[in-house]
Amino acid sequence: MVSRYDKFVAYLIILQRAFSQGSACPPGWKNWNQSCYAIYFNRVSWMDASEFCESRGSHLVMPNSQPENDFIWRMMTERLKSLSGAGVWIGCKRKSADSSFVCAGNEGMSYTNWAPGNPKNKETPVCALYGVDGEGKWKSVGCTPRIGRNVVCEMPTAPRMYCMTADENGRLVNDLP
């Protein structure tokens, strides 16, 4: 025989699963496919951009697929009609000409969208960025350029939390107006 308590617990699990499909981003961030993105027009070096994102509990953007890359490019161009020649940093860096790019979380690149002729081997270290002239194509440039670049930060979405009250019989109480 199933007790009232067991039914109550099962009901709460069902509610949790039904409501946990949604996820939330901080105010001002855009939600896409279980990640949150925010663009900042702070022209800074790659290292400063990386530290800026980390100070917000996130990391420099790192597209992992063509649809994600397209979303980020659209978000950037919607927010700034012209990227003003600066481009936007991507969270990948190569320390030397004979090393591989390492991305946020010390991962290799699972997806790339390099513009023709990129990545270049001239400078080290080399960092990745969205170029201003390539419909979401990436370029490699020195990590401390004379012109700073813009920043897009990325973080995973947070699950939405719902609180419910139960009466002494274990029934949910709707105490909202």
Question: What would the pLDDT profile of 43-57 be if each residue is shown by its tens digit?
Answer: 899 999 999 999 999
- Cα 115 from Cα 22, distance rounded (Å): 36
Amino acid at 139: K
pLDDT at 176 over 70: no
Amino acid at 147: I
Looking at the structure, do residues 50 and 4 belong to the same domain, yes or no?
Answer: no
Looking at the structure, do residues 88 and 74 belong to the same domain, yes or no?
Answer: yes
Q: Is residue 150 part of a domain?
A: yes
Looking at the structure, do residues 2 and 38 belong to the same domain, yes or no?
Answer: no
Looking at the structure, do residues 62 and 15 belong to the same domain, yes or no?
Answer: no
State the pLDDT at residue 145.
75
Looking at the structure, do residues 70 and 1 belong to the same domain, yes or no?
Answer: no
Residue 72 near residue 152, CB atoms below 8 Å: yes
In this structure, the number of other CB atoms found within 10 A of the CB of residue 151 comes to 23
Looking at the structure, do residues 65 and 17 belong to the same domain, yes or no?
Answer: no
- Name the residue range of residue 128's domain: 26-156
Looking at the structure, do residues 33 and 94 belong to the same domain, yes or no?
Answer: yes
Looking at the structure, do residues 10 and 73 belong to the same domain, yes or no?
Answer: no
Helices (H), the chain: 4-19, 46-54, 66-79
Residue 163 near residue 155, CB atoms below 8 Å: no
Looking at the structure, do residues 110 and 166 belong to the same domain, yes or no?
Answer: no
Strand pairing report for 158-159 and 23-24: antiparallel
Looking at the structure, do residues 51 and 112 belong to the same domain, yes or no?
Answer: yes
- Cα 93 from Cα 140, distance rounded (Å): 9
Looking at the structure, do residues 13 and 33 belong to the same domain, yes or no?
Answer: no
How many structural domains are present in the chain?
2
Looking at the structure, do residues 124 and 166 belong to the same domain, yes or no?
Answer: no
Question: What would the pLDDT profile of 51-93 be if each residue is shown by its tens digit?
Answer: 999 999 999 999 999 999 999 999 888 876 655 667 899 999 9
DSSP assignment letter at 72:
H
State the pLDDT at residue 21.
47
Q: Is residue 177 part of a domain?
A: no
In this structure, the number of other CB atoms found within 10 A of the CB of residue 159 comes to 13
Confidence of residue 27 (pLDDT cuts 50, 70, 90): very high
Q: Give 87-135 as a DSSP string.
A: -EEEEEEESSTTS--EETTTBPPS---BPTT-S--SSSSEEEEE-SSST
